[in-house]
Amino acid sequence: MSNSESLSIPTTMRQRVIDYITQLQNDIVSALEEASVSPCQFKCDAWSRPQGGGGISRTYASSGDDATYEKAGVNISMIHGTLPPAAIKQMSSEHSSLDVNTTTALPFFAGGISLIVHPRNPNAPSAHANYRYFEVMDSTEKDAKVVGWWFGGITDLTPSYLFEEDAKEFHETLKAVCDAYGTALYPKFKQSCDDHFFIPHRKEYRGIGGIRFDDLNDEMNTILGTVDGEARPRTADDIFAFVRALGDVFTSSYMSILNRRKIMPSDERMRRWQLLRRGRYVEFNLVCERGIKFGLAAPGVNVENVLMGMPEMARWEYMSDMFEESGSAEGKMMEVLRSPKSWVRDC
């Protein structure tokens, strides 16, 4: 086949997603390694799924007091297989395009990138992001057509100590990306993120939020609700461009915050508080996070990959009163964790 002939063959969305998350993983890992105060090299683990597909995990962990990261990971997965009729029926309730009345299994593909950064310095916030694509085909034939597709994403910041300029910078960056694709997106996606990270048994939120969207395609979107009719990306190409824009700003939005906080002075009290907040992180992940529950129940799951976001160390104290001290930095943080606030104007 000549070069001109190969260039005329359109690239599938599946392949475009794989190419993008592979490059984004390399870019983010390089940025994290470069930002580390002490030498830092992420481990690479390629894994495969017996039912189809696999992924690449890039991780780093250190117990050293001088480490920039106590734990960090940037993972990608590209899996495929078949969905049983019961699963297709359940999905069709949220995606009208999947109303195919099938009594047989249908092939699917899921690709995404997930990252977590837990810095060692209590002044530096933890960061998390996940962007993904899912599609269902109408058959296993070579000329099979995509009968259902959607994108999802989430990114958030979890500080132990509140620096309002960091929160504003993080949210302003996300809002700028969202506004380029529709001014109705950021307010709805921020609210969705706040709701998602609520810890009911503690009556507090995990962090200062970010944005969250799911099931985003050309159909009515539940999260957007009544504003879905306003300007927003609707085609697969436009939504993919939106997702890429969000993925591309991670290094600029988070690394500047990390670089400001990674070498700030801290003491044993601050470390104690950081570990207590990491305990809340664990509680949310194991008790509330639906994605982790789904991942652990999936056939052929890579358990280490699913639990990668767990902090290396955490702490629990019976009836700890650290955050009850009036006027303390910990108390200031708790005010925001109990009642989320708007970090940007006009929202």
Residues annotated catalytic, as ranges: 128
Alpha carbon 181 to chain centroid, angstroms: 20
Instruction: Dig out the tokens for 105 from the structure.
Output: 């299994």
**Cα–Cα distance measured from residue 98 to residue 138, given in angstroms and rounded to the nearest whole number:** 9
Q: Could you give the CA distance from residue 326 to residue 324 in angstroms, rounded to a whole number?
A: 6
Which residues have a Cβ under 8 Å from the Cβ of 274 and sit 6 or more positions away?
122, 160
Q: What kind and span of H or E run contains 257?
A: helix 250-261
CA distance 69 to 36: 8
Under DSSP, the state recorded for 304 is H
* Residue pointed to by tokens 């830092």: 40
What letter would DSSP give residue 159? -
Write the CB contacts of 223 (distance below 8 Å, at least 6 apart in sequence). 188, 189, 192, 212, 213, 214, 215
